[in-house]
Structure 1
Amino acid sequence: MADAAGFWAVEDKFAGQMMFQAALRRQLTYLVIYKQQIVGSVAFEADGTNTHRFEIGYVLLADFWNLGIMTAAVGQATKLAVEDLLCQELWAKVATVDSASAKVLQKNGFKPQGVSQLDGTVKFIWQG
């Protein structure tokens, strides 16, 4: 899953902290805080072909899955993308249309666009 999304696994705590700190320095990364604890993040990556189009990616600690936290966070982050980045379109790729991640996207108005023949991922699009 991480490979399909363009992420890589870190081998130790130091590497994880360095990657997390690099993400925080980008203006397009938002922390997900639940009960005064950082439990995940939502980030946007500018699309090189269109200044109003961004890829959205998110991660949530497993202990906090199935609580509606990421659905709410993606909704809030989408609003921020529209207001702060003048975003007109967001896209994301997930491993399967039946995954929890796909459900988060669908609950926030993203529509599936079909399965990639290359890696079997499903692309979702949101248009404001």
Structure 2
Amino acid sequence: MENLRVTIFSASMILMVIIILILWKMNDLLESPGTYEGALAYGFEGRGFVPCKYPEEVWWVTEVDNDTAMNIHYSTTSDHSMPAYAVVEVEVSARGSHGHMGMYDRKAKIIKVQSISTTFPEGCSKT
């Protein structure tokens, strides 16, 4: 009888872990490649993108073609460290530790810049 209880308890714990992992993975799914809007910033040791739709995440920015987004960003803003509102087509990685010292939630590889502006729409944070 004791063995049956241990088996049932073990099976239920394994099932609970599997359900939690499935739910966590479902929450991790983003369209990739996809078009996202958000705050794009370039700094000394980091390139970050904070999507308007997911303001709790910061994505490490890489680029397909020789820093085109960075050049457009620099030509748009007067202060190069200032975030700019950007609409970009990106390939987004799964959640993890990315970029400088693993401080970023995802890696976002910019495929195409659709627009960059110093004006942020309502509901989209600069940070």
TM-score normalised over the length of structure 2: 0.24
Structure with max Cα Rg: 2
Larger relative helix fraction: 1
Q: Which has the higher contact order (CA 8 A, sep 6+)?
A: 2
